[in-house]
Protein backbone atom coordinates (compact mmCIF):
# COMPACT_ATOMS: atom_id res chain seq x y z
CA UNK A 1 0.00 0.00 0.00
CA UNK A 2 1.28 3.49 -0.79
CA UNK A 3 2.07 5.98 1.99
CA UNK A 4 0.71 9.49 2.49
CA UNK A 5 4.09 11.19 2.07
CA UNK A 6 5.52 8.90 -0.62
CA UNK A 7 7.97 10.86 -2.78
CA UNK A 8 8.69 13.54 -0.14
CA UNK A 9 12.40 13.76 0.67
CA UNK A 10 13.46 15.14 4.03
CA UNK A 11 16.99 16.32 4.73
CA UNK A 12 17.03 15.61 8.44
CA UNK A 13 19.52 17.74 10.28
CA UNK A 14 17.89 17.13 13.65
CA UNK A 15 19.37 15.84 16.87
CA UNK A 16 18.39 15.02 20.47
CA UNK A 17 14.58 14.84 20.80
CA UNK A 18 12.47 17.70 19.46
CA UNK A 19 13.55 17.58 15.81
CA UNK A 20 13.89 13.78 15.62
CA UNK A 21 10.29 13.25 16.84
CA UNK A 22 9.13 15.44 13.98
CA UNK A 23 11.10 13.68 11.26
CA UNK A 24 10.22 10.25 12.68
CA UNK A 25 6.54 11.09 12.23
CA UNK A 26 7.17 12.20 8.65
CA UNK A 27 9.06 8.95 8.01
CA UNK A 28 6.15 6.97 9.44
CA UNK A 29 3.86 8.75 7.00
CA UNK A 30 6.11 7.58 4.17
CA UNK A 31 8.67 10.35 3.62
CA UNK A 32 12.25 9.38 2.78
CA UNK A 33 14.11 10.83 5.77
CA UNK A 34 17.87 11.18 5.31
CA UNK A 35 19.49 11.92 8.63
CA UNK A 36 22.78 13.81 8.39
CA UNK A 37 25.23 13.08 11.20
CA UNK A 38 28.84 13.74 11.98
CA UNK A 39 31.14 10.79 11.18
CA UNK A 40 32.46 9.01 14.24
CA UNK A 41 30.02 10.67 16.63
CA UNK A 42 26.54 11.09 15.21
CA UNK A 43 23.52 12.33 17.08
CA UNK A 44 24.67 12.79 20.67
CA UNK A 45 21.77 10.66 21.94
CA UNK A 46 23.31 7.57 20.33
CA UNK A 47 25.59 7.43 23.35
CA UNK A 48 23.40 9.04 26.02
CA UNK A 49 21.70 6.98 28.77
CA UNK A 50 23.06 3.78 27.28
CA UNK A 51 21.77 0.56 28.83
CA UNK A 52 24.09 -1.67 26.77
CA UNK A 53 27.76 -0.71 26.24
CA UNK A 54 28.68 0.49 22.73
CA UNK A 55 25.15 0.01 21.40
CA UNK A 56 22.86 2.82 20.20
CA UNK A 57 20.84 3.92 23.21
CA UNK A 58 17.08 3.52 23.52
CA UNK A 59 16.99 7.32 23.58
CA UNK A 60 18.27 7.31 20.00
CA UNK A 61 16.58 4.19 18.65
CA UNK A 62 13.13 5.22 19.90
CA UNK A 63 13.31 8.62 18.13
CA UNK A 64 14.87 7.67 14.81
CA UNK A 65 12.89 4.81 13.30
CA UNK A 66 12.37 4.49 9.53
CA UNK A 67 15.21 6.94 8.73
CA UNK A 68 18.39 6.56 6.70
CA UNK A 69 21.67 7.77 8.19
CA UNK A 70 24.45 9.46 6.22
CA UNK A 71 27.60 10.95 7.68
CA UNK A 72 28.75 14.29 6.30
CA UNK A 73 31.16 16.79 7.81
CA UNK A 74 29.31 19.95 6.86
CA UNK A 75 32.24 22.12 7.87
CA UNK A 76 34.51 20.39 5.36
CA UNK A 77 34.40 22.13 1.89
CA UNK A 78 33.82 18.85 0.07
CA UNK A 79 31.26 17.81 2.68
CA UNK A 80 29.49 21.10 2.03
CA UNK A 81 29.24 20.22 -1.65
CA UNK A 82 27.58 16.92 -0.78
CA UNK A 83 25.14 18.78 1.42
CA UNK A 84 24.41 21.21 -1.42
CA UNK A 85 23.60 18.27 -3.68
CA UNK A 86 21.23 16.96 -1.03
CA UNK A 87 19.55 20.36 -0.64
CA UNK A 88 18.92 20.37 -4.39
CA UNK A 89 17.35 16.93 -4.23
CA UNK A 90 15.19 17.25 -1.10
CA UNK A 91 11.86 18.95 -0.37
CA UNK A 92 12.32 19.85 3.28
CA UNK A 93 15.32 20.59 5.49
CA UNK A 94 14.52 20.09 9.17
CA UNK A 95 16.92 21.29 11.85
CA UNK A 96 17.02 22.02 15.54
CA UNK A 97 20.52 23.36 15.99
CA UNK A 98 21.30 26.10 18.44
CA UNK A 99 20.36 29.50 16.99
CA UNK A 100 22.67 30.57 14.17
CA UNK A 101 24.40 27.20 13.69
CA UNK A 102 22.98 26.61 10.20
CA UNK A 103 24.04 30.14 9.12
CA UNK A 104 27.52 29.56 10.56
CA UNK A 105 27.76 26.43 8.37
CA UNK A 106 27.09 28.70 5.41
CA UNK A 107 23.55 27.54 4.81
CA UNK A 108 21.54 30.72 5.26
CA UNK A 109 17.93 30.89 4.07
CA UNK A 110 19.11 32.95 1.08
CA UNK A 111 21.77 30.39 0.12
CA UNK A 112 19.32 27.49 0.47
CA UNK A 113 16.80 29.34 -1.72
CA UNK A 114 19.49 29.85 -4.36
CA UNK A 115 20.16 26.12 -4.34
CA UNK A 116 16.50 25.09 -4.26
CA UNK A 117 13.68 27.65 -4.27
CA UNK A 118 11.15 24.89 -3.51
CA UNK A 119 12.94 23.94 -0.30
CA UNK A 120 11.00 24.21 2.97
CA UNK A 121 13.32 24.97 5.88
CA UNK A 122 11.78 23.90 9.16
CA UNK A 123 13.35 24.74 12.52
CA UNK A 124 12.77 24.07 16.18
CA UNK A 125 14.23 26.76 18.40
CA UNK A 126 13.85 27.29 22.12
CA UNK A 127 12.35 30.76 21.74
CA UNK A 128 10.94 32.87 18.96
CA UNK A 129 12.30 36.36 18.22
CA UNK A 130 12.78 38.34 21.43
CA UNK A 131 15.03 38.55 24.46
CA UNK A 132 15.83 34.83 24.60
CA UNK A 133 16.11 34.04 20.89
CA UNK A 134 19.82 33.20 21.11
CA UNK A 135 19.45 30.76 23.99
CA UNK A 136 20.04 27.03 23.83
CA UNK A 137 17.06 25.22 25.25
CA UNK A 138 16.23 21.75 26.53
CA UNK A 139 12.87 20.23 27.48
CA UNK A 140 12.50 21.48 31.03
CA UNK A 141 13.58 25.02 30.16
CA UNK A 142 10.69 25.13 27.70
CA UNK A 143 8.28 23.68 30.25
CA UNK A 144 9.27 26.43 32.66
CA UNK A 145 9.23 29.28 30.12
CA UNK A 146 6.01 28.11 28.47
CA UNK A 147 3.88 28.26 31.62
CA UNK A 148 3.63 24.52 32.33
CA UNK A 149 5.83 24.39 35.44
CA UNK A 150 4.23 27.35 37.22
CA UNK A 151 0.82 25.71 36.84
CA UNK A 152 1.84 22.12 37.64
CA UNK A 153 2.17 20.65 41.13
CA UNK A 154 0.48 21.41 44.41
CA UNK A 155 -0.27 24.80 45.94
CA UNK A 156 2.09 24.29 48.87
CA UNK A 157 5.00 22.97 46.80
CA UNK A 158 7.47 24.28 44.20
CA UNK A 159 6.77 24.36 40.44
CA UNK A 160 6.94 20.87 38.90
CA UNK A 161 7.88 19.67 35.42
CA UNK A 162 5.84 16.90 33.82
CA UNK A 163 7.13 13.60 32.47
CA UNK A 164 5.29 14.21 29.19
CA UNK A 165 7.87 15.77 26.88
CA UNK A 166 5.66 18.64 25.86
CA UNK A 167 8.65 20.88 25.09
CA UNK A 168 10.51 18.47 22.84
CA UNK A 169 8.06 15.93 21.43
CA UNK A 170 5.23 18.48 21.69
CA UNK A 171 7.15 20.99 19.58
CA UNK A 172 8.19 18.23 17.16
CA UNK A 173 4.50 17.57 16.57
CA UNK A 174 3.81 21.26 15.99
CA UNK A 175 6.69 21.41 13.51
CA UNK A 176 5.44 18.34 11.62
CA UNK A 177 2.09 20.04 11.12
CA UNK A 178 3.85 23.20 9.92
CA UNK A 179 5.85 21.15 7.41
CA UNK A 180 2.94 19.31 5.84
CA UNK A 181 1.00 22.59 5.71
CA UNK A 182 3.92 24.27 3.91
CA UNK A 183 4.14 21.30 1.52
CA UNK A 184 0.45 21.77 0.80
CA UNK A 185 0.87 25.49 0.18
CA UNK A 186 3.80 24.73 -2.13
CA UNK A 187 1.45 22.81 -4.41
CA UNK A 188 -0.24 26.20 -5.06
CA UNK A 189 2.74 28.58 -4.98
CA UNK A 190 5.61 26.38 -6.15
CA UNK A 191 7.74 28.06 -3.47
CA UNK A 192 9.35 26.87 -0.29
CA UNK A 193 9.11 28.79 2.95
CA UNK A 194 10.50 28.86 6.46
CA UNK A 195 8.64 27.06 9.24
CA UNK A 196 9.48 27.89 12.85
CA UNK A 197 8.19 26.13 15.94
CA UNK A 198 9.56 27.65 19.14
CA UNK A 199 9.46 25.37 22.18
CA UNK A 200 8.14 28.13 24.44
CA UNK A 201 5.26 28.71 22.00
CA UNK A 202 4.54 24.99 21.69
CA UNK A 203 4.35 24.55 25.47
CA UNK A 204 2.20 27.65 25.85
CA UNK A 205 -0.14 26.36 23.14
CA UNK A 206 -0.58 23.20 25.22
CA UNK A 207 -1.12 25.38 28.34
CA UNK A 208 -3.79 27.49 26.65
CA UNK A 209 -6.37 26.70 29.35
CA UNK A 210 -4.09 28.25 31.96
CA UNK A 211 -3.99 31.57 30.10
CA UNK A 212 -7.78 31.28 30.00
CA UNK A 213 -7.72 30.89 33.79
CA UNK A 214 -5.33 33.82 34.25
CA UNK A 215 -7.91 36.10 32.69
CA UNK A 216 -10.79 34.56 34.66
CA UNK A 217 -8.77 35.09 37.84
CA UNK A 218 -8.04 38.72 36.99
CA UNK A 219 -11.71 39.39 36.34
CA UNK A 220 -13.23 37.56 39.32
CA UNK A 221 -10.42 37.09 41.86
CA UNK A 222 -11.31 33.43 42.30
CA UNK A 223 -11.86 30.20 40.38
CA UNK A 224 -14.35 27.89 41.98
CA UNK A 225 -13.11 24.62 40.49
CA UNK A 226 -9.57 25.15 41.87
CA UNK A 227 -8.63 23.40 45.13
CA UNK A 228 -7.82 26.84 46.64
CA UNK A 229 -11.57 27.53 46.67
CA UNK A 230 -13.29 28.17 49.07
CA UNK A 231 -10.81 28.15 51.98
CA UNK A 232 -7.44 28.95 50.42
CA UNK A 233 -6.27 32.18 48.88
CA UNK A 234 -5.60 33.20 45.31
CA UNK A 235 -2.69 35.46 44.35
CA UNK A 236 -2.16 37.40 41.16
CA UNK A 237 -1.22 34.47 38.94
CA UNK A 238 -2.89 31.15 38.12
CA UNK A 239 -1.94 28.84 40.99
CA UNK A 240 -0.93 25.20 40.84
CA UNK A 241 -4.12 23.13 40.86
CA UNK A 242 -2.81 19.75 42.05
CA UNK A 243 -4.88 17.09 40.34
CA UNK A 244 -7.95 19.21 39.74
CA UNK A 245 -9.46 18.85 36.30
CA UNK A 246 -8.68 21.65 33.86
CA UNK A 247 -12.21 21.66 32.49
CA UNK A 248 -15.69 22.29 33.81
CA UNK A 249 -16.14 18.83 35.35
CA UNK A 250 -14.39 18.48 38.72
CA UNK A 251 -11.97 15.58 39.05
CA UNK A 252 -9.25 14.29 41.39
CA UNK A 253 -6.89 11.36 41.86
CA UNK A 254 -8.15 8.91 44.45
CA UNK A 255 -6.55 5.99 46.28
CA UNK A 256 -7.57 2.46 45.36
CA UNK A 257 -7.09 -0.88 47.10
CA UNK A 258 -3.38 -1.57 47.56
CA UNK A 259 -2.25 2.08 47.55
CA UNK A 260 -0.20 1.49 50.72
CA UNK A 261 2.34 -0.60 48.77
CA UNK A 262 1.64 0.14 45.09
CA UNK A 263 2.55 3.73 44.13
CA UNK A 264 0.16 3.55 41.17
CA UNK A 265 -2.94 2.10 42.88
CA UNK A 266 -4.95 5.23 42.09
CA UNK A 267 -7.77 6.25 39.80
CA UNK A 268 -8.72 9.57 38.23
CA UNK A 269 -12.36 10.19 39.06
CA UNK A 270 -14.52 12.82 37.37
CA UNK A 271 -17.77 13.91 39.01
CA UNK A 272 -19.43 14.65 35.70
CA UNK A 273 -22.73 16.45 36.30
CA UNK A 274 -25.02 14.27 34.14
CA UNK A 275 -24.02 11.11 36.08
CA UNK A 276 -24.12 12.63 39.58
CA UNK A 277 -27.10 10.50 40.70
CA UNK A 278 -25.30 7.35 39.52
CA UNK A 279 -22.14 8.36 41.41
CA UNK A 280 -24.24 8.82 44.58
CA UNK A 281 -25.74 5.34 44.11
CA UNK A 282 -22.39 3.64 43.47
CA UNK A 283 -20.75 5.10 46.58
CA UNK A 284 -23.83 4.54 48.77
CA UNK A 285 -24.70 8.22 49.29
CA UNK A 286 -28.10 8.17 47.57
CA UNK A 287 -29.27 11.13 49.67
CA UNK A 288 -26.68 13.41 48.01
CA UNK A 289 -28.58 13.17 44.71
CA UNK A 290 -31.33 15.43 46.06
CA UNK A 291 -29.65 17.16 49.05
CA UNK A 292 -29.52 20.96 48.38
CA UNK A 293 -25.78 21.08 49.29
CA UNK A 294 -24.89 18.41 46.72
CA UNK A 295 -27.62 18.17 44.07
CA UNK A 296 -26.26 20.76 41.60
CA UNK A 297 -22.73 21.38 40.25
CA UNK A 298 -22.72 24.91 41.75
CA UNK A 299 -23.83 23.65 45.18
CA UNK A 300 -21.12 20.98 45.10
CA UNK A 301 -18.18 23.31 44.38
CA UNK A 302 -17.52 24.39 48.00
CA UNK A 303 -17.75 20.72 49.09
CA UNK A 304 -15.48 19.09 46.52
CA UNK A 305 -12.87 18.05 49.10
CA UNK A 306 -15.51 16.23 51.20
CA UNK A 307 -17.10 14.73 48.12
CA UNK A 308 -13.82 13.29 46.87
CA UNK A 309 -12.98 12.03 50.37
CA UNK A 310 -16.27 10.16 50.41
CA UNK A 311 -15.75 8.73 46.92
CA UNK A 312 -12.25 7.69 47.95
CA UNK A 313 -13.67 5.69 50.86
CA UNK A 314 -15.41 3.68 48.14
CA UNK A 315 -12.49 3.47 45.65
CA UNK A 316 -10.19 2.25 48.45
CA UNK A 317 -12.31 -0.90 48.67
CA UNK A 318 -11.63 -1.73 44.99
CA UNK A 319 -8.56 -2.16 42.82
CA UNK A 320 -8.26 0.52 40.12
CA UNK A 321 -9.36 -2.01 37.51
CA UNK A 322 -12.37 -3.20 39.55
CA UNK A 323 -13.38 0.43 40.10
CA UNK A 324 -13.02 1.11 36.34
CA UNK A 325 -15.26 -1.82 35.49
CA UNK A 326 -18.00 -0.72 37.87
CA UNK A 327 -17.82 2.98 36.98
CA UNK A 328 -17.76 2.35 33.23
CA UNK A 329 -21.03 0.43 33.54
CA UNK A 330 -22.63 3.70 34.65
CA UNK A 331 -20.75 5.91 32.16
CA UNK A 332 -18.90 7.63 34.99
CA UNK A 333 -15.68 9.05 33.46
CA UNK A 334 -12.59 7.68 35.18
CA UNK A 335 -9.11 6.43 34.34
CA UNK A 336 -6.64 4.12 36.06
CA UNK A 337 -3.18 5.50 36.86
CA UNK A 338 -1.18 3.13 34.66
CA UNK A 339 2.49 2.53 35.32
CA UNK A 340 4.92 2.26 32.39
CA UNK A 341 5.22 -1.44 33.25
CA UNK A 342 1.47 -1.89 32.87
CA UNK A 343 1.43 0.09 29.62
CA UNK A 344 4.33 -1.93 28.21
CA UNK A 345 2.44 -5.15 28.93
CA UNK A 346 -0.99 -3.99 27.74
CA UNK A 347 -2.10 -6.32 24.89
CA UNK A 348 -4.53 -3.84 23.30
CA UNK A 349 -1.73 -1.29 22.78
CA UNK A 350 0.39 -3.95 21.09
CA UNK A 351 -2.55 -4.85 18.86
CA UNK A 352 -3.03 -1.29 17.59
CA UNK A 353 0.67 -0.73 16.96
CA UNK A 354 0.90 1.93 19.68
CA UNK A 355 3.47 -0.23 21.48
CA UNK A 356 5.72 -2.07 19.04
CA UNK A 357 8.53 -4.58 19.47
CA UNK A 358 11.42 -3.82 17.14
CA UNK A 359 14.49 -5.92 16.36
CA UNK A 360 17.86 -4.18 16.10
CA UNK A 361 21.11 -5.74 14.81
CA UNK A 362 23.27 -4.77 17.79
CA UNK A 363 20.69 -4.23 20.54
CA UNK A 364 18.26 -7.10 19.87
CA UNK A 365 14.57 -6.69 20.64
CA UNK A 366 13.20 -3.60 22.35
CA UNK A 367 9.88 -1.89 22.83
CA UNK A 368 8.99 1.44 21.34
CA UNK A 369 6.00 3.72 20.96
CA UNK A 370 4.63 3.42 17.44
CA UNK A 371 2.82 6.10 15.47
CA UNK A 372 0.07 7.56 17.65
CA UNK A 373 -1.66 8.92 14.53
CA UNK A 374 -3.38 6.19 12.53
CA UNK A 375 -4.18 6.80 8.86
CA UNK A 376 -6.46 4.18 7.29
CA UNK A 377 -4.86 4.54 3.85
CA UNK A 378 -1.29 4.95 5.07
CA UNK A 379 -0.57 2.39 7.76
CA UNK A 380 2.69 2.74 9.70
CA UNK A 381 5.28 0.00 9.69
CA UNK A 382 7.87 0.76 12.36
CA UNK A 383 11.40 -0.06 11.11
CA UNK A 384 14.51 0.03 13.28
CA UNK A 385 16.68 3.12 13.51
CA UNK A 386 19.75 3.24 11.24
CA UNK A 387 23.28 2.57 12.42
CA UNK A 388 25.57 5.58 12.12
CA UNK A 389 26.32 6.17 8.44
CA UNK A 390 24.56 2.96 7.42
CA UNK A 391 23.19 4.57 4.25
CA UNK A 392 26.03 6.91 3.31
CA UNK A 393 27.14 4.94 0.25
CA UNK A 394 23.56 4.27 -0.86
CA UNK A 395 22.56 7.95 -0.67
CA UNK A 396 25.83 9.13 -2.27
CA UNK A 397 25.23 6.72 -5.18
CA UNK A 398 21.70 8.15 -5.56
CA UNK A 399 23.30 11.61 -5.77
CA UNK A 400 25.42 10.35 -8.65
CA UNK A 401 28.77 9.80 -6.87
CA UNK A 402 30.83 6.84 -8.11
CA UNK A 403 32.38 4.32 -5.67
CA UNK A 404 35.80 5.91 -6.33
CA UNK A 405 34.52 9.40 -5.55
CA UNK A 406 32.84 8.12 -2.39
CA UNK A 407 36.05 6.50 -1.23
CA UNK A 408 38.05 9.69 -1.97
CA UNK A 409 35.57 11.81 0.01
CA UNK A 410 35.83 9.35 2.89
CA UNK A 411 39.62 9.58 2.84
CA UNK A 412 39.34 13.40 2.84
CA UNK A 413 37.14 13.21 5.96
CA UNK A 414 34.18 14.83 4.16
CA UNK A 415 31.80 11.94 4.76
N1 LIG B 1 29.19 18.36 10.58
C2 LIG B 1 29.89 19.37 11.14
N3 LIG B 1 29.40 20.10 12.16
C4 LIG B 1 28.18 19.78 12.64
C5 LIG B 1 27.41 18.73 12.08
C6 LIG B 1 27.96 18.00 11.01
N7 LIG B 1 27.33 17.00 10.42
N8 LIG B 1 26.25 18.65 12.76
C9 LIG B 1 26.30 19.61 13.70
N10 LIG B 1 27.44 20.30 13.63
C11 LIG B 1 27.89 21.41 14.47
C12 LIG B 1 27.00 22.63 14.34
O13 LIG B 1 27.30 23.32 13.17
C14 LIG B 1 27.38 23.40 15.61
O15 LIG B 1 28.58 24.09 15.39
P16 LIG B 1 28.84 25.63 15.78
O17 LIG B 1 28.35 25.80 17.18
O18 LIG B 1 30.32 25.76 15.64
O19 LIG B 1 28.10 26.48 14.83
C20 LIG B 1 27.70 22.29 16.59
O21 LIG B 1 27.76 21.07 15.83
C22 LIG B 1 26.75 22.06 17.75
O23 LIG B 1 25.42 22.27 17.42
P24 LIG B 1 24.41 22.72 18.58
O25 LIG B 1 23.04 22.70 18.03
O26 LIG B 1 24.88 24.03 19.15
O27 LIG B 1 24.58 21.54 19.65
P28 LIG B 1 24.69 21.62 21.26
O29 LIG B 1 24.88 20.22 21.66
O30 LIG B 1 25.70 22.60 21.71
O31 LIG B 1 23.26 22.16 21.71
C32 LIG B 1 20.86 22.10 21.92
C33 LIG B 1 22.17 21.30 21.79
C34 LIG B 1 19.71 21.12 21.84
C35 LIG B 1 20.84 22.83 23.28
C36 LIG B 1 20.77 23.13 20.78
O37 LIG B 1 20.93 22.48 19.56
C38 LIG B 1 19.46 23.92 20.74
O39 LIG B 1 19.22 24.81 21.54
N40 LIG B 1 18.59 23.57 19.77
C41 LIG B 1 17.33 24.28 19.57
C42 LIG B 1 16.30 23.92 20.59
C43 LIG B 1 16.05 22.44 20.68
O44 LIG B 1 15.73 21.77 19.74
N45 LIG B 1 16.18 21.94 21.92
C46 LIG B 1 15.70 20.62 22.26
C47 LIG B 1 16.63 19.57 22.02
S48 LIG B 1 15.78 18.10 22.41
Per the CB < 8 A criterion, the answer to whether 52 and 30 are in contact is no
Strand, coil or helix: what is 249?
coil
When pLDDT is averaged across residues 69-97 and rounded to a whole number, the result is 97
What is the pTM (predicted TM-score) of this model? 0.96
Fold of 9-205+349-412: Rossmann fold (3.40.50)
Question: Does pLDDT of 253 surpass 90?
Answer: yes
When pLDDT is averaged across residues 357-382 and rounded to a whole number, the result is 97
CA of 102 to the centre of ligand 1 (A): 9
DSSP string, 36-64: EE-TTT-SGGGGTT-SSTTS--HHHHTT-
Per the CB < 8 A criterion, the answer to whether 159 and 240 are in contact is yes
CATH number for region 251-332: 3.30.1540.10
**Residue 390 pLDDT:** 97
Ligand 1 contacts CB of residue 150 (under 6 A): no
When pLDDT is averaged across residues 169-187 and rounded to a whole number, the result is 98
What is the pairing mode between strands 9-13 and 92-95? parallel
Q: Where are the beta strands (DSSP E) in 202-344?
A: 251-255, 266-270, 334-336
The model's pLDDT over 316-342, given as tens digits with 9 standing for 90+, comes to: 999 999 999 999 999 999 999 999 999
CA dihedral 182, 61, 393, 114 (to 10 degrees): 20
Does residue 18 have a known ligand-binding role? Answer: yes
When pLDDT is averaged across residues 361-375 and rounded to a whole number, the result is 98
Per the CB < 8 A criterion, the answer to whether 387 and 67 are in contact is no
CA dihedral 29, 34, 36, 39 (to 10 degrees): 120
Does residue 69 have a known ligand-binding role? Answer: no
Domain locations in the chain? 9-205+349-412, 251-332
- Range scoring the smallest mean pLDDT among 24-28, 134-138, 243-247, 327-331: 243-247
Atom of ligand 1 nearest to the CA of 37: 7
Residue whose CA is at the smallest distance from ligand 1 atom 31 = 98
Which of 60, 98, 414 has most ligand 1 atoms within 8 Å of CB, for mutation?
98
What mean pLDDT is reported for the chain? Answer: 96
- Range scoring the smallest mean pLDDT among 16-25, 170-179, 298-307, 391-400: 298-307
The pLDDT-based confidence of 232 (bands split at 50, 70, 90) is confident
The C-alpha atoms of residue 350 and residue 354 are separated, in whole angstroms, by: 6
Question: Does pLDDT of 373 surpass 90?
Answer: yes
When pLDDT is averaged across residues 262-285 and rounded to a whole number, the result is 97
Q: What percent of the chain has pLDDT over 90?
A: 97
Ligand 1 contacts CB of residue 72 (under 6 A): yes
The C-alpha atoms of residue 415 and residue 407 are separated, in whole angstroms, by: 9
Strand, coil or helix: what is 179?
helix
Start-end of H helices in 146-275? 169-189, 199-206, 208-220
CA of 106 to the centre of ligand 1 (A): 14
Ligand 1 contacts CB of residue 48 (under 6 A): no
Question: Does pLDDT of 366 surpass 90?
Answer: yes
**Residue 1 pLDDT:** 78
Atom of ligand 1 nearest to the CA of 39: 7
What is the pairing mode between strands 251-255 and 266-270? antiparallel
Distances (CA, A) of 377 to 7, 21, 201, 211, 382: 16, 22, 32, 38, 16
Ligand 1 contacts CB of residue 414 (under 6 A): no
Q: Which of 154, 147, 151 is nearest to 253 (CA)?
A: 154
**Residue 188 pLDDT:** 98
CA of 100 to the centre of ligand 1 (A): 9
Question: Does pLDDT of 246 surpass 80?
Answer: no
Atom of ligand 1 nearest to the CA of 71: 7
**Residue 248 pLDDT:** 81
Ligand 1 contacts CB of residue 126 (under 6 A): yes
Does residue 185 have a known ligand-binding role? Answer: no
Residue whose CA is at the smallest distance from ligand 1 atom 19 = 101
Does residue 100 have a known ligand-binding role? Answer: no
Q: Which of 105, 102, 73 is nearest to 194 (CA)?
A: 102
Ligand 1 contacts CB of residue 80 (under 6 A): no
When pLDDT is averaged across residues 381-385 and rounded to a whole number, the result is 98
Ligand 1 contacts CB of residue 73 (under 6 A): yes
Per the CB < 8 A criterion, the answer to whether 348 and 363 are in contact is no
When pLDDT is averaged across residues 158-172 and rounded to a whole number, the result is 98
CB atoms near residue 47 (< 10 Å): 15
**Residue 276 pLDDT:** 97
Per the CB < 8 A criterion, the answer to whether 237 and 151 are in contact is no
The pLDDT-based confidence of 173 (bands split at 50, 70, 90) is very high
Amino acid sequence: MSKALDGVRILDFTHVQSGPTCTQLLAWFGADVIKVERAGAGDITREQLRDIPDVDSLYFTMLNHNKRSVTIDTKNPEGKQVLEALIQKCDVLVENFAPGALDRMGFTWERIQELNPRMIVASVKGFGPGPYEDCKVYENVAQCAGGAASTTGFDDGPPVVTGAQIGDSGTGLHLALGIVTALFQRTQTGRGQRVLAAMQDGVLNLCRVKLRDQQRLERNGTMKEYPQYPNGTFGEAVPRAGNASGGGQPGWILKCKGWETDPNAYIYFITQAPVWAKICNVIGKEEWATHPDYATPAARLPHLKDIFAEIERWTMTKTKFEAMQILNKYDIPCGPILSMKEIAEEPSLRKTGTIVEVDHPTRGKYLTVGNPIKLSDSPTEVKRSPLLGEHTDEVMAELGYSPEQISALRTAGAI
